[in-house]
Structure 1
Amino acid sequence: MSDVSGVSGVGAAHGFPWGHFAAGLPWSAPAALAVMLVTFAVAVRKGMHRIVDIAWGLGFTAVALTSLLASTGAGGDPVRRVLVTALTALWGLRLAGHIARRGRGHGEDPRYARLLAKAPGDPNLYALRMVYLLQGALVWLVSLPVQAAHYVPDPMGWVAWVGVALWAVGLFFEAVGDAQLARFKADPANRGQIMDRGLWRYTRHPNYFGDFCVWWGLFLLAAGSIPVAVAVVVAPLVMSLLLTRGSGQRLLEQHMSSRPGYAGYVARTSGFFPRPPRSRGGPAAASRPPSGR
C-alpha cells in the first residue's frame, strides 16, 4: 500500500485490514463503557458527579490499551501501535490526574448541579443517561483514529511524525497552561484577578487549544492513506466542535462573561489559536481583567 505518510506518496488503502479494524471496534466500546459505569457507581456512592470528568481521560486510555490488545496479529506497524497507545495514555492519565487534583476538596460542579436540578425523575439515572453514557459514546467516537492507527501496516512516514510533533505541541499547551493557572490561583495575591500571563496571554484557552492539537496529531498518526483518513476524520472534527462550540470554550466564557474586566481580556486576547495580544492602549484594555478561571 502506498502511504500518505511515507515517501511513496498517496495511494489506496489496499493494505489496511478493514475487517480486523471493524472486528476490533466492538471491543473498544465496552472498554469505554466500563470506565464510565465504574465511575458512575463511585459518584453515586460519594454523592458527587463531578468525578465523571476524571473518567474522560481514563476512558481514552482504556480504549487505547484495548485496541493494542485487539489488534495483535492484525499486521499493524509495531512502532505505530506502541506509539499511539503511549501517546494516548500519557495524555489521558495526565488529564485525569490534573482534574482529580483540581477538584480535591470541592463540592459538586455547578454544571452538573444545574443539570440534575432539572432532572425528571431520579437525578442519578438522569445523570447516567445524559452524562456517563453520552461521554462513553463520545470517547468511543473521538478515539477512532487511535483505534485505526493500531491496524495501519506501513512504517511511520513524515505525516505520522508531523502528527507526533503536533501532539507534543498540544500536550505542552495543556500541561504548561494548567500548571501556570494552578500556581496563579494558589497565590492569595491573585484573588479576584484574571490569569492573563504565560500562555494565557496569547490565548484565553491554552488547555482547549492543546486538546485540539493533541487530537489532530493523533489523527495524522492514523492517516496512513486517504480512505483511512476519510473514515476517521469525524473524530477530530467532533472534538474540535466540543472544544469550541460545546462544553468547552462556549460554556466557560458564558460563565466568565459577567466578571469585571473580562470584556477587556476578551478584546485583547485570542479566543482560541495563540497570537500576540492586541495593544492594551485601546478602550477595551482600560482595566486589568480579574481572574475567575
Structure 2
Amino acid sequence: MGCSNMKNAMIAFLAPLPSILFYLSFINNSTFPSLTIISTWHPLVLVNILFFFNVNLLFWLIAQIQSSHWMIDPYWTVIPVMLIHYYSSHPLSNYDTWRSKIVIFLTWVWSIRLFHNYFRREKWQWGSREDWRFTNMSQQYGKQWWWASFLSIYLPHQLLLIGLSLPMYVIHSVNQPLNIWDLVAAVVCISGIVIAYIADTQLYNFVMSRNNDDKGITILEIGLWYYSRHPNYLGEQLWWWGLVVFGWNLGHGWTSIGALSNTMCLGYVTKLVEQRMLKQEKRAEAYRMYQNTTSVWIPCFNFKSASSDSQFKIKDA
C-alpha cells in the first residue's frame, strides 16, 4: 500500500508539468522564449487547449494504464487555483490588483479546504479508489468503457471547470475599482467555504465515531444536517455563485452559465446519492423519514420538532 501510495503521489505531482511550464513562460518570457507567441493567445483559448491535452488526454491515458479514474477527483481541488493564476499572469490580463488578490486568496482557501476534506476522507492515500459513480458507469458501459470514459468523465470536467472559472477570467480582464458588490461577493464566497467546511467536518466526525463504536445508529440530524440534507453541497454552491457576483459586478452576468450548469449537475448527483442511500436496507426507512422532514439544500427551520434532535444520519461524502 505504501509503495502504491508513493507512486500515485509522484504521478499526481508530475502530471501538470506541461501546464506549469506554460505558466512560467507567462511570468518570465526569457525562460521559455519558444512559448512566447503561444502565451499571447486569448486566455480562454489557451486554457482550453492546455486542459484538453494536459488533463483530459494525459489523465485519461494514465487511467487506462492504472484501470482507475481516481486522479480527476483530487485535481478538482487544484485546477481552479491553476486557472486563476493563469488568468492573472497572462500577458493580455488587465485588472484591479486588490480584487485579484482577494479572489486569489479566497480560491486558495477554498482549495485547501476541499483538498483537506478529500484526503481526510481517503485516509491520506493517493489513488486508493475511484469515485463510486465512475465505478457504476464502468459496469454499465462494459467493454466500451475505455473510450466512453473519455467522453463521460474528462470532457464534461473540462466544460464544467472552465465554465465555473469564467468569473476568474473576467476578474482579470476588466479593470474597475472595488465597490460594495465586491464585498457582497466575498461574503457569499466565505459563507460557502465555512458552511462546506463545517458540514464536511460534522459528517466526517460522525462517520469516524460510527465506525469506532457502531450501535446501529444510521441517521444523524445534528448541526447543519438538522436543517439540510446536503449542507456541504449548499456550501459549495454558495462558493461558485459568489464568484458569479464578482463577474456580474463587472458587467459579465453571462459567467453564471458555469455555476448554473454545476447546480444542475449537483442536483443530479444529489438524486444519485439519495437513491444509493435508499438501497441500503438498514438505512432506507430512516432516510425516507429524513427526506420527509428535512430540506434538500436550502436550510428549513420549520420541518421538524425538537424531539428529532435525537436522531442521527450518515451519507457518503
Instruction: Tell me the secondary structure at the aligned position of residue 119 of structure 1.
Output: helix
CA distance in 2, matches of 1:22, 1:254: 45
CA distance in 2, matches of 1:253, 1:67: 37
Letter in 2 for 1:54: P
- CA-CA distance at 1:151 after TM superposition: 1.6
More helix by proportion, 1 or 2?
2
Aligned to 1:61: 81
CA distance in 2, matches of 1:29, 1:276: 43
Aligned to 2:158: 136
Report the CA distance shift for 1:85/1:35 in structure 2 as closer, same or farther (over 3 A): farther
Unaligned 5+ runs, structure 2 = 1-39
Unaligned 5+ runs, structure 1 = 1-20
Aligned to 1:291: 314
Aligned to 2:141: 119
Aligned to 1:261: 286
CA distance in 2, matches of 1:264, 1:210: 24
Q: Does 1:189 align with 2:209?
A: no
Q: Does 1:242 align with 2:261?
A: no
Letter in 2 for 1:263: R
| Contact 1:260 1:290 (8 Å CA) reproduced | no
| Contact 1:145 1:219 (8 Å CA) reproduced | yes
Aligned to 2:17: none
Q: What percent identity do the matched residue pairs reach?
A: 23
TM-score normalised by the chain length of structure 2: 0.75
Letter in 2 for 1:207: N
Matches within 5 A, 1:1-293: 23-33=42-52, 34-70=54-90, 72=91, 74-104=93-123, 107-119=129-141, 121-187=143-209, 188-189=212-213, 192-226=217-251, 228-229=252-253, 231-244=254-267, 246-247=268-269, 249-258=270-279, 259-276=284-301, 278-280=303-305, 288=311, 290-293=313-316
Q: Which has the higher contact order (CA 8 A, sep 6+)?
A: 1
| Contact 1:36 1:55 (8 Å CA) reproduced | no
TM-score normalised by the chain length of structure 1: 0.80
Letter in 2 for 1:48: S
> How many residues are treated as equivalent by the alignment?
266
Aligned to 2:5: none
Letter in 2 for 1:189: D
- CA-CA distance at 1:213 after TM superposition: 0.6
- CA-CA distance at 1:255 after TM superposition: 1.2
1:19-58 Cα shifts (integer Å, max 9, x gaps): xx99221122234332444543444444322332222222
1:100-144 Cα shifts (integer Å, max 9, x gaps): 331346544331112112226453332222102221221111211
Report the CA distance shift for 1:157/1:56 in structure 2 as closer, same or farther (over 3 A): same
Letter in 2 for 1:29: N
